[in-house]
Structure 1
Amino acid sequence: MPEAYWNHNVHYQQLVLKLLPEGCEHALDVGCGDGLLVSRLAARVPAVTGADRSAEAMVLARRRYGDLDNVTFVETDYLDDPKGLLAEGKYDFVSAVAVIHHADFHDAVNGLVRLLAPGGRLVVVGLGKDRTPLDWIVRLTGQAASHVLKVFHGGKRGPGVPGMSPTTSWGEIAREARRMLPGCRFRRLLLRRYLLTWDKPGR
């Protein structure tokens, strides 16, 4: 098994795992990168798919976790999947960690919701743009916490992936999420992240 590492996204993977619904049969991690979260989901879910549009990420993920019998990695974009590698309405659980700020918020949410089975659960750990004094206070507090955690975990590291700064503010994300996903739960997290969870009606 590859050596574990720590960064802001990995820090919240345990939170994602705690939100797995009972009886989950098929899970999907969108923007799976090197597959670390996929491997952790695979210990709890019978069938797990990791999807990423990066060919380099897929090579790394398959090298690290391709021997897991219940895991499938697919190179595709969840917003542009012409080969249908991701089946709409199939997945009981869809996670997206540090992914949806790479696209228009509405397009990203709609794309993830399409993949959810009726009764399935969506879990997003995302980034927002600082605009208000409170945003900056939370950011500075998070930076202080990050320095402590970084020392405790032996440094902040992980596979290199292209970075992109969010353009939608925390407040805008919260408002649009509640409009698009009635009954969703939105919470600011300390390390420059938010948690969005939503259960799709229908089961």
Structure 2
Amino acid sequence: MLRKAYALLGLSFLPCAAGAYAGTYVNFYALFSNSWLSVVAFFIFAYGLMFAIEKNRYNNLGIGLLMVFTFGFGFFLSPILQFALASRIGGQIVGMAALMTAGVFFTMAAIAHRSKSSMNGIAQFLTVGAVVLIIGMIVNMFMNIPALGLTIAAGFVIFSSLVIMWQIRAVIAGGEDSPTSAALTLFISIYNIFTSLIQILLAVMDNR
């Protein structure tokens, strides 16, 4: 089961990369001149497809929808990549974020493999953490406070790292029986860590 989930996760980065590449040919500022429109479009796409993937998590349609999902996430990733790469040290920042993301994933996966705990306590913490982060995102949409944005980004790194550990442990313990669902959760967590680290590194390293 876990091997299948890892295989799907690895495969999902191919359409994600294709989506990010396709996004380089799109003028996002013209397409989503209203920032609220971009947020609404993203959430409709994300949650609509997540629901469809979960409904079809035991068949090939679910796998196909997962690939569409990751392509779309790659597409929406393109603006922050373009913004980061416009910096004189943009390539360094993106590379560091990718390496750090990989490091976090392999570390949390190793912990999950060695742990004997059911991690029920972590599951409860993650539920509360998700609510807090969503509320923080909504608040910052109105207030646009840079320090709050960085705090939320750091929170997403911690939250998503724990989700990786929890999800892998759930697969190992038999609490998750769909490799498609597991790959979806892991992909979203890695995506959140990567984008959050880019935001943090831009704030810390970029003086343009």
- The structure whose Rg is larger is 2
Q: With structure 1 as the length reference, what TM-score do the two structures score?
A: 0.24
Q: With structure 2 as the length reference, what TM-score do the two structures score?
A: 0.24
